[in-house]
Amino acid sequence: MIDQTSVEALRSQSNLAAQLAIKDLELLLSRLPEQAEAKRKVLLEAVPLLVEEYGNMAAVGAEEWYLQMRRAYTTSSFSSVLGEPPAAEVVRSNVRAVIGPLFDTSLPADDALKRTRAKLNQVVERSVKQTARSTMLTNAARDGQALKFARVPAGSETCAFCHMLASRGWVYATKESASTAQKTGKSFHAGCDCVIVPSFGSDDPIIEGYDPDLLYQRYLFGEKELRDRFPGKHPTDEEVAALIRRLLPSIYDPTYQVNSGDIPFSKRQLAPLSDKKIRHILHGDRKGGGHVYGATKRGKTQFPPWWTEKDILGAIEDIQLHGKAILKDGDSLLYEGYSRGVLIRVRIRNGEVGTVFPIRGDGVEKYFPEGNSAEPLLKYSSTDYPDVYGHKFS
């Protein structure tokens, strides 16, 4: 059974091989000769050998994991293989690119070695893990029982770029798709814990913590926002990931501070939502509200036209359970978060849902007081409308 525990086991195997390789690299660095050219020669010869040795260790662990998962789904025989480590010349090229500080006479020797060590550690770690990923991809492409594979984030932290790539979900395991994924090995950055996971059943596995649909919604939202900010521009994946990282600091910013009043996900409870409040939120009344598409309440944001009442009510629950929480004025609680690519705010007053409205996202419009027709929010800058467009609490 492919579950989060199994994925973490695969990640741990690759990490162990990489850590052992780095330990040997540390020993090698402590014994480098004094002469600059001699140092270069030793590193260019020894580092590819380290990568090959420990890359094979990671590959064996990945192969064993692959076969174990396969036996849980099928009884047919299969002759597995180990993935190829990065070519020695590729590793040497990466080594040449990072050992420059060793030959910089303006740097103190200890500082030069420290800088070189950090960069070489990254080269070795990424190369060793690449061999494990290559093993998964190669076998999935050869195995008629492995229908698809996915890049699955693992570990306690994952960057926005990895999430963006993981949003592509389960792709068919063909030689062409595996070859393409292997050629983009550089997309697995230093410190990346993403693993390649095959799917042996007819349905895509459900892995706790891996929701490609949610990740894809984030990607689409970031891409749409960039296109609207810069008409005619075709944003790159790196640019989309950079924007998503800024829009979701609680997920991607290590320095993010938890808001006062934040409630652990495990202790959250849904606030009551009365029929009267539902009418207020959707269609509006004399006090305000009116956020369903077509409500035509001037100055109010509207949910996308394709959102049904059921979609909106489901999103209200989703944001309370998974959104960012903050106390407001000591007597009310705000939740803010994404649901299906739309940023939504939910206000709780006296223990009940009081106000709900979309802030921005694909299909979100607002009837501005100075106009008589709805306009997409993404046309307006954060400078002009900071309370609506900016990722802030007002």
Residue 261: pLDDT over 70: no
- Taking the mean position of all CA atoms in its chain, how far away is CA 31? 39
Residue 336: pLDDT over 70: yes
pLDDT tens column, 81-114 = 999 888 999 999 999 999 999 888 888 988 988 9
Catalogue the long-range contacts made by 381-387 (C-beta closer than 8 Å, 24 or more residues apart).
381/229
Report the chain's terminal Cα–Cα distance, integer Å.
Answer: 46
Highest-confidence segment of 51-65, 245-259, 322-336 = 51-65
Q: What are the φ/ψ torsions at residue 306 (nearest 5 degrees)?
A: -90, 0
Please give the sequence-ordered ranges of beta strands (E in DSSP) within the chain, or none if there are none: 148-152, 171-172, 195-199, 301-302, 324-328, 332-339, 342-349, 352-361, 365-367, 374-376
pLDDT tens column, 19-68 = 999 999 999 999 989 888 899 999 999 999 999 999 999 999 999 999 99
pLDDT of residue 366: 79
pLDDT of residue 394: 28
Instruction: Indicate the range of 39-48, 147-156, 274-283 predicted with least confidence.
Output: 147-156
Does the pTM surpass 0.75? The reply is: no
Q: Which residue has the higher pLDDT, 266 or 165?
A: 165
Residue 265: pLDDT over 80: no
What distance in Å separates the CA atoms of residue 107 and residue 236, rounded to the nearest whole number? 37
